[in-house]
Amino acid sequence: MTQELALGVIAGLGTDALAALQHVRSLGVPTAHIGYPAAMDNEAGVGEIEAARRATGIEITTVFCSFVGESYADIATVRASVGLVPEATRAIRVKKTLKIAEFAHKIGVARVAAHIGFVPEDHSKPLYAPMVQVTQQICDALAVRGQVFALETGQETAHGLKRFIEDVERKNLKVNFDPANMILYGNDQPISALDVLMPWIDGMHCKDGRWPTQEGQLGEETPLGDGDVDLRAWLKRLLELGYRGPLTIEREISGDQQQQDILRAVALLEALRRDFGH
């Protein structure tokens, strides 16, 4: 059982689970979200991940789905390419999601998450009903193994996402709340959105960013604490609402700067947690 408000990072296991989880440990956090390590989806890989988890004590709290052909270049491209929205790839991506969930189960992870793409806010749009149906299909397949399916926030308003979740009507449908995405997509305020989505929030990406300045473009991601999220007020509200799950740091750059920004984020979140008595 994870400690309350355990910090975490997003880790790619690549082909060396032990090295990856040792790296997570070196950042001073006890949990991680991972992407789907296709190269390790076999008996040897699953054994290696188990051994790496035992050796490092790192808990993998979520396996994240992503799909071939997705691009986050600008809003129109996200709309056309991401998640379960594009009709041409929907069936194959649902199948892949189920495969990832099966793998997650093998490595003892009960939470699978994804950007499913822009769900239309308008229910009468032809895309809306099929999105409800495929999400039901995924939730039902995961429920058999006691897994939850978490939707990454940002591509809808909080109220739009709430209505969608209510329409899907599955108890194991949850929300992975990413406050920066709300801002980067110019869709909603990350603090008031907590009030709307709290009943379903079971995980977090601690990420920051600035509002878009150009029509059709995403805003700019920043190191945690430097963007428009208002991290202190956001975390305060989250704790007031009773959230005690993991706080998983996301920084979508690579290299040394990413590591430095993550270490700074760890220190920042630890300080805020202490300030708020946790």
Closest to Mg ion by CB, 205 or 237? 205
178 touches Mg ion (CB under 5 A): yes
For the segment 239-268, give every residue that binds Mg ion (CB under 5 A): 250
**Alpha-carbon distance values, 233 to 52, 112, 142, 187, 224 (Å):** 36, 28, 34, 19, 13
237 touches Mg ion (CB under 5 A): no
**Paired sense of beta strands 221-222 and 208-209, if any:** antiparallel
**Alpha-carbon distance values, 188 to 84, 156, 179, 180 (Å):** 22, 8, 9, 10
Closest to Mg ion by CB, 208 or 250? 250
33 touches Mg ion (CB under 5 A): no
CB of 248 to Mg ion, least distance (A): 8
Closest to Mg ion by CB, 56 or 205? 205
**Alpha-carbon distance values, 265 to 6, 93, 141, 237 (Å):** 13, 33, 36, 18
Distance (Å, rounded) from C-alpha 136 to C-alpha 166? 11
205 touches Mg ion (CB under 5 A): yes
- The closest of 153, 218, 216 to 184, measured between CA atoms, is 218
For the segment 94-123, give every residue that binds Mg ion (CB under 5 A): none
Closest to Mg ion by CB, 48 or 221? 221
- Binding segment toward Mg ion, per CB under 5 A, in 49-57, 69-77, 202-210, 265-273: 202-210
Closest to Mg ion by CB, 53 or 205? 205
CB of 115 to Mg ion, least distance (A): 8
Where along the sequence are the contacts to Mg ion (CB under 5 A)? 178, 205, 250
